Amino acid sequence: MSVTISSKRLHREFVKKVKELSGQNLKLCYQCGLCTGNCPAAVNMDISPRRIIELARLGLEEEIATSKTVWVCASCLACAVNCPRGFDLSKLMEAIRLLTLRKNVDHIRPEDIPQQERCDLPQIAMVSGLRKFTG
Amino acid sequence: MKTRARNLEEPAVASMEALGFKLDEVPRWNCCGAVYSLADDDLIHQVAPVRNLIRVKKQGKTELVTLCAFCLNTLKRANLLMRQDAEKRNTLNDFVDEGIDYGGEVKVVHLLEVLRDEIGWEALSQKVKLPLQELKVAPYYGCTLLRPREVAIDNVEDPTILGNFLKALGANPVDFPESTRCCGSYQVVSSPHDISEYTRPILSSASGHGAEALVLTCPLCDYNLGRGQKELTKKGSGFKEIPLFYFTQLLALALGRGPAASGSCSGAGSPGMSF
């Protein structure tokens, strides 16, 4: 996937909000890719974890907003504990999710979960899932 | 824990009684929220875990023991926030109407830490009435006992606590490289059909290294691994299910409290191995 980088495409407000919400210094990352290598969900992502960091600091909001990557992240923190730069990618993923959820755009609707699933899923799954996927 | 994971709680209570400890349930506890909020400005989701911690302090207690790995993670991280961030501590204390201020005084520990640090493996092994006959059990840690580092109950890269626990019970722990790999967690809510592929490497690796069962600490791991292996069996290709046990079930069994405490269910999708 090629990406056009230009100052015109840089969404400064997006970068600012992501930094505020995540509390992370995006400049720490040196793109070694250990986050992607350690991510058990990377195989289901359209943009790799490493690439999400790069796109975020370039302010390429459209690429990130249309990607499914942050919704596939399970917040397992394999990226965070293996990062040689001390960058906590799970917090960046959460920040990007929240920028969508806080616009009242939910990733799932409880009523769309089949009734049998709703009965079968344990409370710990429903609470954590709805916390991560709804605003 | 009171409904779907009774087989985690009930054997724990019976086992601790057998070891001379009485677990006092926190009065008026509320759900901690399951997942720790990772956003810097999101204080409202810290209220639930902090309220539980305040109630422990109000009881005059200094230590909170959790059985569930998710609860441990969320409560311990919220506790650290209250200790380390004065501004957020003040805001939360102003907001939470529990009568007293809280500054992270309570110590949050997992039951495995009590067994390791307060009882000790040697003392535990001496209390074992029915050794597990060298049953080959793979210790599955998952995510939340070990990540992030600041709340880990053991070495993040090379945890031994579950292995030592199993040895104390007379079982034979089976090391396998996927013991800290995520089971898919809450992804089961949005992408239930992906769970079998999340769990396949964990289950296959454990079996491939000779495990006869898996030991767990988390109700969501139990559900996902159970569901995953049922689906993998349906898909065919020779996948064989493996019994899943909570660590408390094996503890109760070894301490001679198995039949009363452990019930007959051993995980949502675990093949039958009743006590």
Query: Nearest CB to B188: which of A20, A44, A125?
Result: A125
Separation CA B162–CA B139 (nearest Å): 6
User: What's the average model confidence in pLDDT over B75-93?
Assistant: 98
- Contact between A128 and B40 using a beta-carbon 8 Å cutoff: no
Could you tell me the pTM of the whole model?
0.93
Per-residue pLDDT reduced to its tens digit, B243-266: 999 999 999 999 999 765 554 344
Contact criterion met (CB < 8 Å) for B39 and A41: no
- Please tell me whether the peptide bond between B148 and the residue prior to it is cis, using omega within 30 degrees of 0: yes
Tell me the chain B residues in contact with residue A129 when contact means C-beta distances shorter than 8 Å: 186-190
Which portions of chain A are predicted below pLDDT 70?
A: none
Q: How far apart are CA A11 and CA A7, in angstroms?
A: 9
DSSP string, B69-97: HHHHHHHHHHHHHHHH-HHHHHHHHHH--
B213 beta partners: B137
Q: Domain spanning B120-261 has what CATH number?
A: 3.40.50.11810
**pLDDT at residue number B273:** 42
Residues of chain B with CATH 3.40.50.11810: 120-261
pLDDT in tens, A32-44: 999 999 999 999 9
Could you tell me if B35 lies within 8 Å of chain A, comparing CB atoms?
Answer: yes
Instruction: Kindly state the DSSP code that residue B160 receives in the 8-state scheme.
Output: -
Full set of structural domains in chain A with CATH: 12-103 (1.10.1060.10), 108-135 (no CATH)
Q: SS3 for B173?
A: strand
Residue A10: predicted pLDDT: 80
Averaged pLDDT for residues B12-39? 95
Sign of the CA dihedral running A7, A9, A13, A15: negative
Residue B268: its chain A contacts at CB < 8 A? 122
Q: Do the interacting molecules here have an ipTM over 0.90?
A: yes
